[in-house]
Amino acid sequence: MLPDDVQPNDTRTRLAHPTWWKTPLVASLLGLPFLVLEYHWFRSQDGLDALGGVFYWSTGLLALSWALPHRRSLRTPRILTAGAGLGCILLPILFALALGAAMTSN
């Protein structure tokens, strides 16, 4: 017997993904401090010129991971979008760390 609020032809219960928010939340919690750091770093260097595209792409991909519909079928694109956004966020910092490591080793 079905509960009163669930109809037999209710597709919302089948298609809804109850934990859709976990992947974008983890990517946001890890990436937003670095995104703010990069924004201040770029602004102190007179603008977003050299790596500005990475900044905009990372912000867009992170926003897209939140904006995708909450269906179970879009679970993989949401994970890939959040991961790509986080990767773009970490790219300038990892590049700076690798450059610093290369400069210190003779």
Single-letter residue type at 46? D
What confidence score (pLDDT) does residue 1 get?
55
> pLDDT tier at 32 (50, 70, 90 boundaries)?
very high
48 pLDDT above the threshold of 70? no
Q: How far is CA 28 from CA 19, 87, 99, in A?
A: 15, 12, 26
Q: Per residue in 48-80, is it b (16+ CB within 10 Å) or e — as a string?
A: eeebeebbebbbebbebbbeeeeeeeeeeebee
87 pLDDT above the threshold of 90? yes
Instruction: List the single range of 19-23, 32-36, 38-42, 64-68 with lowest mean pLDDT.
Output: 38-42
Instruction: List the single range of 41-50, 55-64, 73-82 with lowest mean pLDDT.
Output: 41-50
